[in-house]
Amino acid sequence: MVLILIYLIVVAGSLVRITGSGMGCPDWPKCFGKWIPPTELSELPADYRESYLQKREKKVAKFCRFLSAIGMNETAERIQSDPTVYVEEAFNTRKTWTEYVNRLVGFLAGNAMIVALVWMLAVYRKRKFVLLMLLNLVLMGIEGWFGSIVVATNLVPWTITVHLLLALVIIGIQLYLVYSMEQKDRVKISLSKPIRLSLLLILAITFYQMFLGTQVREAIDALVKQGFTREQWIDRIGMAFFIHRSFSWLVLILLSWMFWKNEKGIKYPKIRWAFVLLVLELISGVLLAYADMPGLVQTSHLIFASVLFGLLLYAGFESKKESKVSL
């Protein structure tokens, strides 16, 4: 259940991204100062934009002091001097409630983690698992706090990337907990060395691909703000797009080879599913790059990538254990 809710956070976050709802709630953890956000502009004071802008300026200044304290002076100066950081959007019911649902899913996931931690303390009582769940709960809190920074800085691009990568770390830890706690009930798979190395390489590339994907998305957002059309994007996105595209083909070649070997051998289900997910991921990527199909295709692209990452990681955990069968 916890893992499902974490994935739902990724889905909800993507919906926020594609609908431009990141600034739907100008404050955090509340939304317009309320636990249940308003539905009408008339519920807000006339000067609400000025009021929340002042609060944001204070939060941005505090965050920039933190960045300076850890040696990121140039980044802090860049954020403080960026005029787009201090643009307060007008109230929009749809965007507000889209962002609110995103936060609600995060709240449910955090509470599910607390329940799981209490259960481990009361029933399971294995120190390793308790500490890992506690670590993930802390990371979830940091993820929520960093979400407030993303909002306060008005979606400064690199903060969105960090937000996603931290979510992947949380997914990874939760998957390891699931794997470790179910070892007795699962057939263990021993993969041959070439297959296992290929699996780990694909996993590493997939993680990097998700990082590059956010860079490409942020570059496109910047081009849109500058008035460039879809036909002009590819020539101006830069190297990140071409690396992202090239690595996609590399992953396809490696995973196709793994799929072929798998079908000749023990038919390990996770390799089959990984191949299917990759095909869907590549189709959605082509639609994003060359067809005018944004919106839900972006969400699908991120979902396929996130699930593929989780599936490969779980397969990597399983392949560490010896078994009577081998691929």
Total domains, the chain: 2
Alpha-helix residue ranges (DSSP H) falling in 70-156: 73-80, 93-119, 127-152
What global pTM score does this model have? 0.80
Query: Which three-class secondary structure state does DSSP give residue 206?
Result: helix
| Domain end among 186, 208, 238 | 186
Residue 291 and residue 166 in one domain:
no
Q: What is the pLDDT of residue 326?
A: 44
Task: Name the residue range of residue 228's domain.
Answer: 187-327
Q: Are residues 123 and 176 in the same domain?
A: yes
Domain final residue pick, 162, 186, 210: 186
Q: Are residues 320 and 194 in the same domain?
A: yes
Tell me the two tokens of residue 177. Answer: 């907990």
Residue 247 and residue 100 share a domain: no
pLDDT averaged over 10-residue windows placed end to end, the chain, 327 residues: 87 78 78 87 83 81 86 82 77 89 89 89 82 91 81 70 86 90 65 82 87 74 67 68 81 88 82 88 76 66 86 83 45
What tokens appear for 78 in the block?
Answer: 């860049």
12 and 146 housed in the same domain? yes
User: pLDDT value at position 185?
Assistant: 57
Return the bridge partners of 190, or none.
326
Residues 74 and 162 both lie in one domain: yes
Is 106 found in the same domain as 144? yes
pLDDT at position 323, please? 45
On whether both 119 and 71 belong to a single domain, the answer is yes
If asked whether residues 178 and 199 sit together in one domain, one would say: no
- Same domain for 155 and 279, yes or no, is no
> For the purposes of burial, counting CB atoms within 10 Å of the CB of 122, is it exposed (0-12), middle (13-18) or buried (19 or more)?
exposed
**In this structure, are 165 and 273 located in the same domain?**
no
Domain boundary among 169, 186, 203: 186
Residues 54 and 160 both lie in one domain: yes
Task: Provide φ and ψ at 31, rounded to 5°.
Answer: -125, 110
User: Which residue from 61, 21, 60, 22 is spatially nearest to 163, judged by alpha carbons?
Assistant: 22
Label residue 108 exposed, middle or buried (CB < 10 Å: 0-12, 13-18, 19+): middle
